[in-house]
Amino acid sequence: MRYRVVAAAAVILAVVSYAPPRLAFARSGQARPSSQAGAKQAPRAAKPAAKTAVFTVFEASIPEMQAALKSGRTTSHQIVQQYLTRIATYEDLLHAAITVNPRALEEADALDRERAQGHVRGPLHGIPIALKDNIQTTDMPTTGGALAFVGMVPPYEATITKNLRAAGAIIIAKTGMTELANFVANAMPTNYNAVQGYGFNPYDPRRDPRTTADGRPILQTGGSSSGVGTAANFWAGNVGTETSGSILSPSNQNMLAAIKPTVGRISRYGVIPITADQDTAGPMAKYVSDVAVMFGALEGTNPDPKDAATRTCTPPSNHDYTQFLKADGLKGARLGIPRKGVYEPFDPTGGGGRGRGGLNPAQTAVMDEAMAALKAAGATVLDVDIPSMVAKDPNENFSSTGGSSVLHYGMKRDFNTWLASLGPAAPVKSLTELREWNTAHEKMGAIKYGQGQLDASDKIDLEKDKAKYEEDRAKDIRLGGTNGIDAAIKNNNLDALVFPGPGSAGIAAKPGYPTVIVPFGMIPNTPGNVGGRGGRGAAPGGAAPAATPPTGATAPTTAQAAGAPQRQGPPPEPLPPGFDPKPQPFGVGFTAGACSEPTLLRLAYAFEQATKKRTPPPGLR
């Protein structure tokens, strides 16, 4: 059974009351045409006034919206109205929203009044933004996609929700997501949750037609955040969260720009957690300029006393990240291409095996084109090694080291702490109670794919397992950071590493390092077996991607997030004759060490401006 908690009445009312944006003739001093019978006619027909073109939100950037608002060409009310109309038109096809804000138009009116009085809060004033449904709001439920939390309105808002409202943003909706940020079950498809069902990618919003399919999309949306609504022009941008790939993966799949920030740049207070060691929120939008605007607002004006990690990085002047957007920002840049284990398979043992990682031919062609564009824009592009990915010692090799306990330990620690912060509003009081509730409501669809990740987390003993956790955490930082990204950049005097798609997700997530991803190419969609996480492009050599990502949190799409082993499985079930999957997006990621977002934004913006490859989803005009 599919549970929908979308505020459908608000959307329907919005559609019924919709009127095209009013022309600006009154502001020019020209009187409105009179319809009074018998009015005296002028001897000569007046020359018609030039009409101002109607502003449309379709593919509009945040700076373009602000320019239209400033000039009086549109209002925030009209922008919200257009977005609500698009939601009403396409939501049943895409499943992008779990909840739509029934007061969005009222909030737009209030912000329009502020603007009319000369008060503009900043570049997000009157701009509709959506939040992942694990980010707390006190005027809409926060479910995390879990049936146990349906209708749960938390007693306090997330710090980033407050920061966005203070910046003038309109929280128009809560987006779909993979249930509890994809930390319920290994086999759960991305952007599936028990509240809403499956999300669908606007670049091919069809279900998998194979006889073994279970209703999931033929083209994966990425997860655990959703980029569906932003790609389909339901809102200007959205805020996702990531533990390992959950911002980068959906942005890649939906042809979006995004910032996966340094852990600590943005407050996590009031966000349903997996682990504070790796969790972060971050902006997703159609353009780099948009995510830069959103990033400053999300960071806020001061460190959050509720999240000590927000003192990790020094913010730029006025918290303005748009100052780093330079069209010539690639000139003189040194960029590293981590071939071994990322772009090409690599066997660190030298045993002659196929090795780990690597791209398929279509992905390789896209990245070759990207590298040519980087060089043409003035960057020096060189092949480099990430030391921890080429290390012969398996205990010091990022790709072959054993599983880390960090996520399961952190989930047991931080999820229970979060539940306690909700007080009486919490429908369950512990991870154990959530598991019991899910089991009791299995027939309602609470655990369609099981809850193996929750079970494993709940088995953790925070005292007895602490030493193992601390050892694993230190190793994650060493292999991902010190002997990983940091060493590669220092050894080669680089500005950044360039990864295919969301391929930096695994290695950058562990030390909490940032990536900025940019829309770029399209590749064939070659769906894998239904039981796995296929539909995101074939893994190297035609193998289906591994069912479980390296960290257990999300399913990055490229080389299993830089170097994780590829699992050979049976050939995929063929698609029915005549059914042709449509191409899928494939982006380019720029990654560096902690607090390097200004540099990454400079590089990413220059690359975007030099290529301008984003195209909207077909058929959703």
Instruction: Measure the CA–CA gap between 198 and 221, rounded to whole angstroms.
Output: 9
Give yes or no for a contact between 309 and 269, defined as CB atoms under 8 angstroms apart: no
Give yes or no for a contact between 266 and 296, defined as CB atoms under 8 angstroms apart: no
Q: Who contacts 600 (Cβ-Cβ below 8 Å, separation ≥6)?
A: 259, 496, 514, 515, 516, 590, 591, 592
Task: Give 207's DSSP letter.
Answer: B
Of 76, 226, 244, 246, which is the active-site residue? Answer: 246
3-state secondary structure (DSSP) of residue 338 = strand
Task: Give 217's DSSP letter.
Answer: B
3-state secondary structure (DSSP) of residue 130 = strand
The answer to whether 306 is a known catalytic residue is: no
- Taking alpha carbons only, the member of 303, 273, 244, 227 closest to residue 505 is 244
Q: Containing H/E element for 345?
A: none
The answer to whether 132 is a known catalytic residue is: yes
Of 224, 249, 400, 404, which is the active-site residue? Answer: 224
Strands (DSSP E) found in 218-307: 237-242, 257-260, 280-285
Of 76, 132, 174, 289, which is the active-site residue? Answer: 132
Give yes or no for a contact between 550 and 576, defined as CB atoms under 8 angstroms apart: no
The answer to whether 246 is a known catalytic residue is: yes
Class of residue 152 by CB neighbours under 10 A (exposed 0-12, middle 13-18, buried 19+): middle
Task: Give 53's DSSP letter.
Answer: P
Give yes or no for a contact between 359 and 558, defined as CB atoms under 8 angstroms apart: yes
Helices (H) and strands (E) in the chain, counts: 18, 13
Instruction: Measure the CA–CA gap between 352 and 366, rounded to whole angstroms.
Output: 28
Strand 515-523 vs strand 257-260: parallel, antiparallel, or unpaired?
Answer: antiparallel
Instruction: Measure the CA–CA gap between 600 and 580, rounded to whole angstroms.
Output: 37
Residues labelled catalytic = 132, 224, 246
